[in-house]
Chains A and B, each alone.
Chain A
């Protein structure tokens, strides 16, 4: 009972301070809004309308259909005609096109045989082109510029599931929930505790009956609420500006977000036990944030990363949350089907919270 009273006292104090701290308050609202708009717009323009060249050596009705389908997808704009594979390669080399479509003379024959019917030549030097190729054809894309084999007609039906128009913002915006929560949740908690240490408040608090766990709980709960506010904000901006639909249950999404917020907050707590100044805690947050951004599958497809990067990625909460959130928002998957991604988040939460409590001694040294 007394313990609850102390937690409540810290909680109210924290909310009151938060309301008075204009900068943090602005960050709570500003970071999600600005990031969603930035990522949404920037990446949309990059991924569509890639310049493409085609070398159609078959000149059949199917090959012409293929060409029309490719253009209709809006993923590529066919801007060049080539006489053969060699010319396509040269165009790629010179950067005139990003994608080359090679239709061999025996196109029809190959289709009938079920052999790879056509080839996609992709400039792999930009990972975004790799992403596009994925939308064009379900092929494993190597990092090198080269020749990837198509698997015949089905490949070029250009059927992309869950995001039929290949609009990347539909992919990006839900995952941004995770990215933004990682940044703000870890940062806010780490800073909130380190600030008390820096300003000397902690020296006083340590000599009071407050227990470490009460202090942590009282400081964390307000940020859980803030995290949920941010989730809501991102969903609203996503729906209003980018028409990102939520196919799954909203309750599932919030439950998953809650688990992810808990994992991020516990990491923030852990950082706060190691950082001596607010600046250090910001540095540590960035140190964690960058790999999360790069290795989680948010920016680059997880499957095309090398094994060590995938291993690190699997350890990061964001990786699992990106899968969960894409599953719920885009595929409409129920949370139960995603339990394989929930467990790692819970494990991360439990282990970093335990470490944080062990490290946070009620002593000054």
Chain B
């Protein structure tokens, strides 16, 4: 396999009327990796994925997927990609086996290989015990395994997954991610959108999207190391009072409550952030214990999306 990237975009933009859903996105996603799109709802993850698989035409910009120009070569690309929609989109009134053989026919999987491939996938995704059941009667996790089996029947080189785990319990999610890595081991590239931090952390690489723009990208480790803001953790009985005290203060980028703790991002230019925070809380005479912490991916996300949030808040206030 050559070193060429699986997906390259330059200035990828999509408007829906006046709404700018994706705003000049540049991507370069290497082959044989699990790459994640992380972002809140409405950040443009789904729209970007839909443009990559030819469901939507870009308003502007260039897209190259597996070396093919999109949307021009969309029809040629279809055989080489697999797509899993956010919603279960196989037929609920067909059985597991019927759905799989339908998709095999649609993708033109050779008849003599089809049977072996179906047996393999049914076994791999543990679908055997309900292979004759209608898809509509399956649980979230079972449906999703079926959808993954259907999307990989034709051995796609690129698998695009749009929030695949939104209706799935944690155990199934863990197994699902395990399967993604085996797909990558088989030589495919996986592009997955999510809003779960623990999932994002498992990716080889991440692109953080906010309001249609790429606000950060890199490996999870790189991203965590690149956080400039200091992370301060506060333990206090009265988290609410402390939060009110800190929020909106200069130098404080964000305050997030985690149970009886608060996680505070302090701007990089503030020297000795620990002391700063402590000083602000002491005024109140609270029991707060303040200490510096290592940035997590969530902090990365919060820090990366903070400027856009602030400008949105300012726009609302004015």
Contacts and interface: CB of A to CB of B under 8 A. Distances in A.
Interface of A: 2, 5-6, 8-10, 12-13, 16-17, 20-21, 199-201, 203-211, 362-365
Contacts of B108: 2, 5-6, 209
13 contacts: A6-B106, A6-B108, A9-B102, A9-B106, A10-B106, A13-B98, A199-B92, A201-B89, A204-B83, A207-B81, A211-B75, A363-B55, A363-B56
Contacts of A199: 89, 92
A237 to B, nearest CB: 30
Interface string B128-172: 000000000000000000000000000000000000000000000
B93 to A, nearest CB: 5
Most buried by B among A8, A12, A20, A206: A206
Interface in B52-83: 53-57, 74-75, 78-79, 81, 83
Nearest to A204: B89
Q: Is the interface of B mostly helix, strand, loop or mixed?
A: loop
The listed residue with most A CB atoms (<10 A of its CB), out of B55, B90, B106, is: B106
B55 A364 contact: yes
Interface string B87-109: 11111111000100011011110
B227 to A, nearest CB: 36
List of 7 A-B pairs having minimum Cβ-Cβ separation, nearest first: A9-B105, A200-B89, A204-B89, A207-B83, A200-B87, A209-B78, A364-B55
Contact of B53 (A10, A16, A207): A207
Nearest to A2: B108
Contacts of A209: 75, 78-79, 106-108
Contact of A203 (B16, B55, B92, B103): B55
B85 A210 contact: no
Given A8-B105, A21-B93, A363-B55, 9 more contacts: A199-B92, A200-B85, A200-B88, A203-B55, A208-B78, A209-B106, A363-B54, A365-B16, A365-B57
A208 B90 CA distance: 12
Contacts of A211: 75
Contacts of A208: 78, 103, 106-107
A16 B134 CA distance: 12
Contacts of B56: 363-365
B50 interface: yes
Among A6, A20, A200, A209, max chain B CB count under 10 A is at: A209
Nearest to A1: B108
Interface in B16-59: 16, 50, 53-57
Contacts of B91: 13, 17, 201
A8 B74 CA distance: 23
B163 to A, nearest CB: 13
A206 B55 contact: yes
Nearest to A205: B106
A5 B93 contact: no
A13 B54 contact: no
A297 B66 CA distance: 59
A363 B102 CA distance: 21
B93 A20 contact: yes
A251 B112 CA distance: 41
A206 B56 CA distance: 10
Nearest to A364: B55
Nearest to B106: A208
A41 B89 CA distance: 46
A363 B57 contact: yes
Nearest to B99: A13
Contacts of B106: 6, 9-10, 205, 208-210
Nearest to B57: A363
Contacts of A210: 106
Given A8-B105, A9-B106, A207 B88 contact: no
B124 to A, nearest CB: 20
A17 B75 CA distance: 27
Nearest to A211: B75
Nearest to A12: B102
A219 to B, nearest CB: 13
A6 B102 CA distance: 9
Contacts of B55: 203, 206-207, 363-364
Contacts of B102: 9, 12-13
Residue of B74, B83, B91 most packed against chain A (CB within 10 A): B91
B273 to A, nearest CB: 46
Nearest to A5: B105
Given A6-B108, A16-B98, A20-B93, A207 B103 contact: no
A204 B148 CA distance: 12
Nearest to B95: A16
A274 to B, nearest CB: 19
A78 to B, nearest CB: 61
B208 to A, nearest CB: 25
Contacts of A200: 85, 87-89
